[in-house]
């Protein structure tokens, strides 16, 4: 019997991990694999799980802790997907996590030799790369950018994502920067358009060592890089008139949240929502205070009630983040004649990473 393949797709917040998992689920099914996906977050109510469930493949969620700090929980999800018949599993670690080679890949190689681990792929956003290399001014905290650099250092493969937003000359420039600063082979892709995604899959599915590098990580800086981010997950029940325009509501809420964070000069890691009305789903997100709101999913979604999941990772204390959401939500709701009832809300500052395992050497 052939081994189950396990692929980890890392990268900082909003780098495009979930978009990539969404893009490859169908491609891998088309290649004959039975695919399973795993999402991960510090708290429950995940927009990513809602997005990936739409792919139709099996999805598991590890929430309440990152994979590295809950290795048994991660492996339980892997086993559950194997039990469900999956022979290829793709997992997305939390975007603010690094040191995955030491805390996930080495333990998997050591303790689960029956898994065929693919090279660790790390996605990077072109703007974030320039921020991390201090080539552009930014509001992102240097310790958050420290995490971005460690992610790229430990990668077996780097994907410069969102290549569709760059000119050929800009792609060349960014690939040259990656080559100059990091060891792993890098390629430009667009998870959104599917460009160069099959070539990357061909590469990582054909073998190659996984977890070949362990980065030197200063856990004080790493912990601080995570702690500068407030982290909010909420489930919210919405009700209004029978013809409430939920696409417009979602877009207005995200724009208002972004504007409120911009006024506070609190850089956004990622703010995203999914809104379900009957069997239709509205998706939206914003990845920086200077960025436009992106809307995806179904259009023309109207109805009397909806359920919304909201995830926000913003560079501000959790109390301030919660206050901003609790002020913005009723304002937007009122302007649409909507009643918003928060059913579940968790707002936290990620705790110091405390991995289950941290291997010092490559297995």
Closer of 294 and 305 to ligand GTP (Cβ): 294
Q: Is 45 helix (H, G, I), strand (E, B) or coil?
A: coil
Q: Tell me how far, at minimum, the Cβ of 46 lies from ligand GTP, in Å.
A: 9
- Taking CB positions, which residue lies at the least distance from ligand GTP? 95
Please state the three-class secondary structure of 142-169 as a single string.
HHHHHHHHHHHHHCCEEEECCHHHCCHH
Q: Tell me how far, at minimum, the Cβ of 23 lies from ligand GTP, in Å.
A: 8
Q: Which residues pair with 8 in a beta bridge?
A: 91
| The entry of Mg ion, ligand GTP, none that residue 162 binds, CB within 5 to 8 Å by partner kind | ligand GTP
302 in Cβ contact with 246 (< 8 Å): yes
54 in Cβ contact with 48 (< 8 Å): no
CA distance 75 to 342: 32
Which of 18, 65, 121, 190 lies at the binding interface for Mg ion (CB under 5 A)? Answer: 18
Residues 41-100 that bind Mg ion (CB under 5 A): 48
List phi, psi (to 5°) of 25.
-55, -50
| The entry of ligand GTP, Mg ion, none that residue 65 binds, CB within 5 to 8 Å by partner kind | none
Which residue is it, tokens 């909420």? 234
Scanning 144-152, 188-196, 208-216, 350-358 for contacts with ligand GTP by CB under 6 A, the matching segment is: 188-196
CA distance 195 to 201: 12
Closer of 61 and 131 to Mg ion (Cβ): 61
Residue 161 in contact with ligand GTP, rule: CB under 6 A:
yes
Q: Which residues pair with 4 in a beta bridge?
A: 115
Which of 36, 107, 287, 297 lies at the binding interface for ligand GTP (CB under 6 A)? Answer: 287
Residue 285 in contact with ligand GTP, rule: CB under 6 A:
yes
DSSP 289: T
CB within 8 Å of 53: residues ≥ 6 apart: 59
CA distance 164 to 101: 29
Residue 128 in contact with Mg ion, rule: CB under 5 A:
no
156 in Cβ contact with 211 (< 8 Å): yes
| The entry of ligand GTP, Mg ion, none that residue 150 binds, CB within 5 to 8 Å by partner kind | none
Which of 14, 28, 89, 152 lies at the binding interface for ligand GTP (CB under 6 A)? Answer: 14
CA distance 77 to 38: 7
Closer of 41 and 153 to ligand GTP (Cβ): 41
Scanning 187-195, 233-241, 324-332, 333-341 for contacts with ligand GTP by CB under 6 A, the matching segment is: 187-195
262 in Cβ contact with 328 (< 8 Å): no
| The entry of ligand GTP, Mg ion, none that residue 15 binds, CB within 5 to 8 Å by partner kind | ligand GTP
Q: Give the interface size with ligand GTP as a residue count (CB under 6 A).
A: 21
Which of 6, 8, 15, 250 lies at the binding interface for ligand GTP (CB under 6 A)? Answer: 15
Question: What DSSP string describes 254-266?
Answer: HHHHHHHHHHTT-
Length of the chain: 363
CA distance 321 to 334: 20
| The entry of ligand GTP, Mg ion, none that residue 350 binds, CB within 5 to 8 Å by partner kind | none
| The entry of Mg ion, ligand GTP, none that residue 161 binds, CB within 5 to 8 Å by partner kind | ligand GTP
Q: Where do contacts with ligand GTP occur on this chain (CB under 6 A)?
A: 11, 13-19, 48, 95, 161-162, 164-165, 190-192, 270, 285, 287, 294
Q: Where do contacts with Mg ion occur on this chain (CB under 5 A)?
A: 17-18, 48
């Amino acid at each position: 019997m052939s081994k189950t393949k396990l692929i980890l797709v890392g990268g900082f917040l909003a780098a495009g991990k979930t978009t990539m998992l969404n893009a490859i689920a169908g491609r891998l099914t088309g290649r004959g694999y039975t695919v399973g996906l795993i999402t991960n977050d510090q708290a429950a109510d995940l927009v990513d799980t809602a997005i990936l469930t739409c792919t139709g493949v099996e999805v598991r969620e590890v929430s309440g802790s990152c994979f590295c700090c809950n290795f048994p929980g991660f492996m339980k999800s892997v086993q559950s997907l194997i039990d469900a018949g999956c022979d290829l599993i793709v997992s997305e670690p939390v975007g603010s996590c690094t040191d995955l080679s030491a805390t996930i890949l080495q333990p998997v190689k050591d303790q689960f030799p029956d898994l065929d681990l693919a090279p660790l792929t790390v996605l990077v956003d072109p703007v974030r790369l320039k921020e991390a290399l201090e080539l552009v001014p930014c509001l992102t905290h240097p310790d958050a950018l420290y995490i971005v650099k460690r992610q790229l250092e430990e990668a077996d493969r780097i994907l410069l994502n969102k290549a569709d937003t760059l000119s050929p000359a800009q792609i060349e420039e960014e690939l040259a920067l990656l080559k100059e600063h990091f060891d792993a082979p890098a390629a430009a892709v667009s998870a959104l358009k599917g460009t160069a995604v099959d070539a990357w899959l061909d590469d990582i599915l054909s073998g190659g060592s996984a977890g070949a590098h362990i980065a030197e990580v200063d856990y004080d800086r790493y912990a601080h890089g995570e702690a500068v981010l407030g982290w909010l997950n909420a489930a919210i029940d919405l009700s209004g008139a029978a013809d409430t325009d939920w696409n417009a509501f979602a877009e207005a809420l995200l724009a208002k949240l972004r504007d409120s964070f911009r006024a506070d000069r609190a850089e956004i890691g990622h703010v995203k929502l999914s809104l379900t009305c009957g069997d239709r789903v509205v998706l939206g997100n914003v990845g920086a205070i200077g960025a436009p709101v992106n809307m995806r999913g179904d259009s023309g979604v109207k109805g009397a009630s909806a359920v919304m999941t909201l995830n926000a990772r913003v560079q501000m204390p959790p109390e301030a983040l919660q206050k901003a959401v609790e002020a913005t939500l009723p304002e937007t709701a009122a302007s649409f004649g909507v009643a918003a009832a928060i059913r579940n809300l968790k707002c936290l500052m990620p705790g110091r990473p405390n991995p289950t395992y941290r291997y010092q050497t490559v297995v």
